[in-house]
A and B are shown apart, each in its own frame.
Chain A
Amino acid sequence: MTSDRTGGRQIRVAIVDDDAGVRVGLRRLCEVFDLGVSVYASGHEFLASLDHGRPHADCLLIDAHMPTMTGVELQHDLLSRGILIPTIVFTGDDPEAISVHHTGLSVVACLRKPIESDVLIAAIERAVGAVVFDPDGP
């Protein structure tokens, strides 16, 4: 279990999505892979959770379309606070189109919903630079 960023401790992800069903589903999926998960219903909620300007996560999973604060807006906000956190954006639209808006930001991957577990895990691994342990084997 090698890791650059996490230093061997549990990988923590933060999920920001306005849809409660999506939040619960993604949380459960991440928990199966022994990831530490925190969920937020909006960008504002996530920003409010920052501990002295530091997020409680190694990786951010955000929905591109949210009513009060879109994914891009949240990232700009974080950037303005000097916070750089590897981010995975997911969207129902064409991910190519979305990624254009995120160029230059700390976006690691743009995923199309619904998200396959292996694709998600691969993206998270890329984001944190560590291998995610699969308790159920290869």
Chain B
Amino acid sequence: MQFLGARHPPETVQGSRHLAASLLLFVPLVFAGNEIGSILRYPDVGSAVLFVPYAVLTAALVVSRPRDWVWYILIDSIAHFVAHWPQWPMSWVLLATVANVARALAAAVVVARLCDGIPRFVGIRTFGCFVVGAVIVAPSIGASIGAANVVLHGASDGYWRPWLAWFTSNALTAFTMLPACIAMFSYTAGPSRARVARRRLVEGVLMMAALGATAFILLGGFERLNPAVTLFAALPILFWSALRFGAAGASGALTVITFAAIWSVDRGETSAAGPSDDQILALQFFVFFTAAPVLCLAAIAAAREAVVQLHRALLASLHDHVALLDARGVMFEANASWRRFADSSAAPLHRARTGDDYLAACRSSAERGDVMGTALFDGVTKVLRGAQPHVEIEYDDPEPGRHETYAIRIESLERPDGGAVVTRANVTARRQAQLEVERHRRELSHLARVNVLGQLSGALAHDLNQPLTAILSNAQAAHKWLLRDPPNTEYAAEILQDIIDDDRRAAAMIHRLRSLLKRGDLRVERIDVADLMSEVLDLSRSELQARNIEPTTSINPAAPALLGDKVQLQQVLLNLILNACDAMNDMEEPRRRLELSVASDDLRTVRLSVRDWGVGLPTDLIARLFEPFVTTKTDGLGLGLSISRTIIAAHGGRLWAENNLGGGATIHCVLPVAEQPEVAAAEPTSSLPDAVRH
């Protein structure tokens, strides 16, 4: 049962303090209420037109803990006795008390259950629950006992007429007074912590003054006018209270108006023949059918206000800077983060606030040649026109002293009026993490490259030794020829020319190796595929020779150029070639073949393939081949292909493996070609060119 206790505040000092405060309010109200109840009664059945104690007792019960209920019930019963006994028979007073207590208990229990605690009158649902519990169920129970009491004591011939009188008066009481009473008792439980704005205080005072004036008109004007007509004068003040002060305010206003109306009927009656039942009933029905829509309106207005407050609170709680633009690009709302950033910025573009034309600020910034302004103007325009659903721009804060990276996202506002949401987030940490990952990737890729060259080192040493050998022999020969008497300078010159050529050959080779060994940034350039293939073949030729592998090439001369990092693509191809060589280690001589091919399947891509006639790939491994640490070799780390796929993916391409029908495997690598304008235009989001990064 401890869990159910969560519905009520825990038992602390505050509990007894609350009881004391609540009783302080309850005692005068309930005694006064019982007295007021006797003011206007139905002449024949003797029940009150408006029964105040019902609202007071129910409100006290709804707000307090069930263990305190006995106090309220006891005091209410005493007040009832004091008001009615000994004018009324003891038995009548007793049974009427039972009816009162049963009704209030039913209302408190049903409302608390349906509304899950104290009813807050926010939205139609809680209002409906309140109506079912406090306006229909509880008054029905009270009326059933009360009417029986009337019949038992011979005050009425029929049962249904007093039943209806009891029911109506209590339902009317719940409708007019109960929400205000609940608000009052809730206040004793602990005043709201929210500070009341001065403007709202002024408005409350003004409304009360207007309410007083209306009540005065009601009281004075009734003598000449039909009450039903006079009561229309109350409608504006009731709507005002409902829209601006919620169910509690509306209920308070309704109470004042209803009392004024009852009072005027009562006063009007003393001077004439006395109010007829029908006249009283008409008054009750008028109030009833005014109260229902007014409270309903109050609940809807409160729900709307709650949504607005939630929206504000949500915006304020966001760490990202958020601004809302209307369809023209004028900022109509910005959260606190946005405003703080605007205050601390020097650039006019970032100083835009609520009410400013953001689009115009972007335009003027763009006209001054600011890249950021141009990108923003472009993005906002596109989103507002509906050309793109959203645009993302990442930029480094250009203001001195701030080393921050921001991501701006402009997103279309999905509503009939259009507009856009501009969100700016500080993505410095994410950006740094990305850079870190990129750095690690580069280092790993470099290590893999060094590893590939390590595997080639024997063959490369041989390649490099060839020109060196030629140079040394030639130089020593030339030296001898020049020392002769007479020196053979002509022949020496011819030899020197060969030395120069061989030296250049060695230098070119070293340059190629150096670029492969270098730990460099990504360098994107146009790459001729045939050149790429022949350079890779040059690098691996000696290794292939040493392994007795015969390379063949099939290169489509019309294959378009690629855009990418030459060194990295060479690395991938070398890796594929070495893998192919390893796959053919145990093969017989005629099968030791390697085929490199370049094909262009369509206009947008180029396919490079490395085919071997080796052992082929285990079928269960083909799908996982490019995952890290997956390898078919006994001495392999399983990183080469995984890094190769990362490199190819960074080039916007694909790398996959398949087994050949005639044995062996082929690795295909598809890369996008350098010129493909229609693909660039189809990109969904635009991003800033690199030039924007400072």
A contact set with B: CB distance below 8 Å: 19, 21-22, 24-26, 28-29, 31-32, 65-67, 90-93, 113-117, 135-136
- Pairwise interchain contact B474-A113, C-beta atoms closer than 8 A: no
- Pairwise interchain contact B467-A29, C-beta atoms closer than 8 A: no
Please name 6 pairs of A and B residues whose Cβ atoms are closer than 8 Å in the assembled complex, sorted by A.
Answer: A32-B476, A65-B546, A92-B465, A93-B461, A115-B473, A117-B473
- Pairwise interchain contact B477-A29, C-beta atoms closer than 8 A: yes
- Identify the stretch in B24-32, B479-487, B686-694 within 8 Å (CB) of chain A at 4 or more residues: B479-487
- State whether A21 and B476 are in contact (beta carbons under 8 Å apart), knowing that A32-B481, A92-B461 are contacts in the complex: no
CB-CB < 8 A to B471: which residues of A? 25, 114
In the assembly, what is the distance between CA of A28 and CA of B491, in Å? 10
CB-CB < 8 A to B481: which residues of A? 32
**Residue among A22, A28, A67, A136 making CB contact with B469, cutoff 8 Å:** A22
- State whether A21 and B545 are in contact (beta carbons under 8 Å apart), knowing that A113-B468, A117-B476 are contacts in the complex: no
Total of A-B residue pairs, C-beta within 8 Å: 80
CB-CB < 8 A to A117: which residues of B? 473, 476
B contact set with A: CB distance below 8 Å: 458, 461-462, 464-474, 476-478, 480-481, 483-484, 495, 498, 501-502, 505, 542, 545-546
CB-CB < 8 A to B468: which residues of A? 113-114
CB-CB < 8 A to B476: which residues of A? 29, 32, 116-117
In the assembly, what is the distance between CA of A116 and CA of B469, in Å? 9
**Residue among A19, A25, A31 making CB contact with B472, cutoff 8 Å:** A25
CB-CB < 8 A to A24: which residues of B? 470, 474, 498
CB-CB < 8 A to A67: which residues of B? 545
- Pairwise interchain contact A28-B474, C-beta atoms closer than 8 A: yes
CB-CB < 8 A to B474: which residues of A? 24-25, 28-29
Residue with the greatest number of chain A CB neighbours at <10 A, chosen from B461, B470, B498, B546: B470
- Minimum CB distance partner of A32 in chain B: B480
Residue with the greatest number of chain A CB neighbours at <10 A, chosen from B480, B481, B483: B480
- Pairwise interchain contact B477-A21, C-beta atoms closer than 8 A: no
- State whether A19 and B470 are in contact (beta carbons under 8 Å apart), knowing that A28-B495, A32-B477, A65-B545 are contacts in the complex: yes
In the assembly, what is the distance between CA of A119 and CA of B495, in Å? 21
- Minimum CB distance partner of A91 in chain B: B462
CB-CB < 8 A to B462: which residues of A? 65, 91-93
In the assembly, what is the distance between CA of A21 and CA of B463, in Å? 12
> Separation in Å of the A70 CB from the closest CB of chain B?
9
- Pairwise interchain contact B470-A21, C-beta atoms closer than 8 A: yes
- State whether A116 and B472 are in contact (beta carbons under 8 Å apart), knowing that A93-B461, A136-B484 are contacts in the complex: yes
- Pairwise interchain contact B472-A115, C-beta atoms closer than 8 A: yes
- Minimum CB distance partner of B544 in chain A: A67
**Residue among A21, A114, A115, A135 making CB contact with B505, cutoff 8 Å:** A21
In the assembly, what is the distance between CA of A23 and CA of B470, in Å? 7
- Minimum CB distance partner of A33 in chain B: B480
> Separation in Å of the B506 CB from the closest CB of chain A?
10
> Separation in Å of the A106 CB from the closest CB of chain B?
23
> Separation in Å of the B494 CB from the closest CB of chain A?
9
- State whether A26 and B461 are in contact (beta carbons under 8 Å apart), knowing that A21-B466, A67-B545, A136-B480 are contacts in the complex: no
In the assembly, what is the distance between CA of A136 and CA of B473, in Å? 16
CB-CB < 8 A to B505: which residues of A? 21
> Separation in Å of the B398 CB from the closest CB of chain A?
56
- Minimum CB distance partner of B506 in chain A: A21
CB-CB < 8 A to A32: which residues of B? 476-477, 480-481
CB-CB < 8 A to A66: which residues of B? 545
Other A-B pairs beyond A19-B469, A26-B470, A66-B545, 10, CB < 8 Å: A21-B466, A22-B466, A25-B472, A29-B477, A32-B480, A65-B546, A90-B469, A92-B464, A114-B472, A136-B480
CB-CB < 8 A to B461: which residues of A? 92-93
CB-CB < 8 A to B478: which residues of A? 28
In the assembly, what is the distance between CA of A28 and CA of B480, in Å? 10
> Separation in Å of the A78 CB from the closest CB of chain B?
20
CB-CB < 8 A to B466: which residues of A? 19, 21-22, 92, 113
